[in-house]
Amino acid sequence: MKDTNAPKLLVVLGDQLSLSLSSLRHADPYRDIVLMAEVAGEATYVRHHKKKIAFVLSAMRHFAGELKLYGWPIRYVQLGDPDNTGTLMGEIERARQDLDINDVVVTAPGEHRLAAQFANIPWLEMLEDDRFLAGHADFNGWADDRKHLRMDYFYREMRRKTGLLMAGSDPVGGQWTYDPKYQKPSKQDMSHSEPLRFEPDAITKDVLQMVERRFDNHFGTLRPFWFGVTRKNAQAALEHFATTGLPHFGDHQDAMLHNAPFLYHSVLSLYLNVGLLSPLEVCRRVERAYTEGHAPLNAAESYIRQIIGWREYLRGIYWREMPGYTKSNYLNAKRALPEFYWTAMTDMACMADAIDQTRDEAYAHHVQRLMVTGNFALLAGIDPVQVHEWYLAVYADAYEWVEAPNVIGMSQFADGGLLGSKLSAASGTYINTISDHCGNCRYDVHKKTGEGACPFNPLYWDFLKRNEDKLRGNSHTGTAYQAWDRMSAAKQQDYLDSAAAYLKTLDDWDHNQ
């Protein structure tokens, strides 16, 4: 018979840094022991940005310190431990033997890769990760009844469930959503746009040195390192955003400015995704900013929508569609990821800006990810698996459950429109409307074809033509195909030739390496 009083090993992963974690809630600090392990395997399954590794490891060390203060016995394995096996499974096995413990409990990992390793082990119990508003059963219950999945309907359910911005059963203000006005912010507005920065303490300094030593060949600039690494830091960052960037969020969230990497974005995703903040507390704080008159309704609503709408919805899709989802390639895109995604060595000012910033900050805001680096990859027909691996590696907030549906679905349309039929494809004209990049670019955004034309212009039409059989029927591309049909055959050919000439430069570069 199973001894229910036998001690258990509670594994806490690097993105499970929440005191309210299900595994901790169901355990007994007088009987059980927590295992946290820094392992090379988690830093290298894709070669994560140096800042991401430093962030996760420092946050893990701080969280372990906090657990100790609360009386939890902890086995904390550092990366430099000579007996470190390099994998989470290896460290679990080693702890079971050293401590003579049989049973292991873990809150379900966010990535399918690890969840699959942990599944069907008789001595390992996986508990649901209930730090989300919609559990797997909730999401599937909602999705099973529907022919087409639509985020906006799911979002309404989440508003009703949480009561956020609700007046009884109706949305506050009478509308469910308030779209941004697409204004470019003025220079004056920008003075409020910086995220809160934190000085590294002794623990973080040790981690930085170690990351410098061990992961020097990974992408990204490590210093200056300014991310918060504790719950207190993350709460301060939330407070800072609620009182500075949030009031402008609704109007400017789709804008891009050179030298303004963060604009009015909150830079909270990295804290949310490791559990230092909970989605509901962030949304409640944002709601309060609105009710107290510090932020307009369009800002509060569109911010809350990103978290209880998109973030939860995409997670639901990920778990519904894995394991096959990350291999989807509906448009049969095969080109290799251009080297300039790693070096930023491109004359396209918008791309260079987004990639430079990604290298320096392990951050780019949503429009850069979607309409610049993502848009380019989509138009150029880059293999979605390579695009997915790039995004997973380069951002401090990247975990497959949220990254993959954004990349495979929202950005690359590689799932064939499963998560929404909208196509995130645009020519240079769109980038020029929402950004100030084109004025600083070697390419001419107003030139449609030929030498010096903005590459996004011919690539856009080439993409539509190349994928005509799959996209002509799409409700979002109807007007684009009508415009194509109205063009003369010579103009169409001009676009296709210009695109081919540009794509050849990518292929030649690749073959010469």
What is the Cα 396 distance to its own chain's centre? Answer: 8
CA dihedral defined by 311, 317, 321, 327, rounded to 10 degrees?
-50
Cβ at position 330, least distance to ligand DLZ in Å: 26
Q: Give 456's contacts (C-beta < 8 A, 6+ positions apart).
A: 348, 375, 376, 379, 426, 427, 428, 431, 445
Check residue 398 for interaction with ligand DLZ (CB under 6 A): no
Cβ at position 145, least distance to ligand DLZ in Å: 29
Interacting positions 102-121 with ligand SF4 (CB under 6 A): none
Check residue 56 for interaction with ligand DLZ (CB under 6 A): yes
> Mapping DSSP to helix (H, G, I), strand (E, B) and coil, where does residue 507 land?
helix
What is the DSSP code (8-state) at residue 215?
A: S
Determine the Cα–Cα distance for residues 64 and 16; give it in Å rounded to an integer.
11
Check residue 39 for interaction with ligand DLZ (CB under 6 A): yes
Cβ at position 455, least distance to ligand SF4 in Å: 6
Determine the Cα–Cα distance for residues 55 and 66; give it in Å rounded to an integer.
16
Stretch binding ligand FAD (CB under 6 A), from 41-49, 159-167, 299-307, 502-510: 299-307
Cβ at position 201, least distance to ligand SF4 in Å: 40
Give DSSP secondary structure letters for 270-313.
Answer: HHHHHTSS-HHHHHHHHHHHHHTTSS-HHHHHHHHIIIIIIIHH
Check residue 300 for interaction with ligand FAD (CB under 6 A): no
Length of the chain: 513
Residue 52 host element (H or E): helix 50-69
Check residue 402 for interaction with ligand SF4 (CB under 6 A): no
92 vs 480 by CB, closer to ligand DLZ: 92
Stretch binding ligand SF4 (CB under 6 A), from 78-86, 227-235, 265-273, 427-435: 427-435
The option from ligand FAD, ligand SF4, ligand DLZ, none interacting with 428 (CB < 5 to 8 A, set by class) reads ligand SF4
Interacting positions 439-478 with ligand SF4 (CB under 6 A): 441, 443, 445, 454-456
Binding residue for ligand SF4 (CB under 6 A) from 7, 384, 428, 458?
A: 428
Q: CA 419 → CA 288, 311, 313, distances in Å? A: 31, 12, 9
Check residue 38 for interaction with ligand DLZ (CB under 6 A): yes
Which residue's entry shows tokens 């009083």? 5
Check residue 426 for interaction with ligand SF4 (CB under 6 A): no
The option from ligand SF4, ligand DLZ, ligand FAD, none interacting with 447 (CB < 5 to 8 A, set by class) reads none
Check residue 263 for interaction with ligand FAD (CB under 6 A): no
The option from ligand FAD, ligand DLZ, ligand SF4, none interacting with 23 (CB < 5 to 8 A, set by class) reads none
Strands 170-171 and 166-167 turn out to be: antiparallel
Determine the Cα–Cα distance for residues 377 and 459; give it in Å rounded to an integer.
10
Determine the Cα–Cα distance for residues 185 and 144; give it in Å rounded to an integer.
42
Is the separation of the CB atoms in 227 and 57 below 8 Å? no
User: What mask, x for binding ligand FAD by CB under 6 A, covers residues 268 to 297?
Assistant: xx--xx------------------------
Q: CA 183 → CA 76, 248, 253, 420, 440, distances in Å? A: 49, 10, 9, 25, 19
Stretch binding ligand DLZ (CB under 6 A), from 34-42, 99-107, 297-305, 419-427: 34-42
The option from ligand FAD, ligand SF4, ligand DLZ, none interacting with 366 (CB < 5 to 8 A, set by class) reads ligand FAD
Angle at 160 between CA 156 and CA 166, to 5 degrees: 100
158 vs 270 by CB, closer to ligand DLZ: 270
Q: Give 51's contacts (C-beta < 8 A, 6+ positions apart).
A: 220, 221, 222, 225, 227, 361, 362, 396
Determine the Cα–Cα distance for residues 123 and 179; give it in Å rounded to an integer.
50
Sequence-ordered strand ranges (E) for 93-198:
103-107, 124-127, 166-167, 170-171
Determine the Cα–Cα distance for residues 328 and 435; give it in Å rounded to an integer.
31
172 vs 211 by CB, closer to ligand DLZ: 211
Binding residue for ligand SF4 (CB under 6 A) from 367, 410, 438, 459?
A: 438
Binding residue for ligand FAD (CB under 6 A) from 198, 310, 443, 495?
A: 310
Number of residues that bind ligand FAD (CB under 6 A): 28
Handedness of CA 461, 466, 469, 471 (dihedral sign): negative
The option from ligand SF4, ligand FAD, ligand DLZ, none interacting with 114 (CB < 5 to 8 A, set by class) reads ligand DLZ
Check residue 189 for interaction with ligand FAD (CB under 6 A): no
Determine the Cα–Cα distance for residues 461 and 512; give it in Å rounded to an integer.
27
72 vs 154 by CB, closer to ligand FAD: 154
3-state helix, strand, coil in the chain (%, to 5): 50, 5, 40
Binding residue for ligand DLZ (CB under 6 A) from 53, 267, 434, 480?
A: 53
302 vs 427 by CB, closer to ligand SF4: 427
The option from ligand DLZ, ligand FAD, ligand SF4, none interacting with 445 (CB < 5 to 8 A, set by class) reads ligand SF4
The option from ligand DLZ, ligand FAD, ligand SF4, none interacting with 441 (CB < 5 to 8 A, set by class) reads ligand SF4
Interacting positions 374-433 with ligand FAD (CB under 6 A): 374, 391, 395, 397-398, 402-403, 406-407, 410-411
> Mapping DSSP to helix (H, G, I), strand (E, B) and coil, where does residue 209 land?
helix
Binding site for ligand FAD (CB under 6 A): 265-269, 272-273, 303, 306-307, 310-311, 314, 365-366, 369-370, 374, 391, 395, 397-398, 402-403, 406-407, 410-411
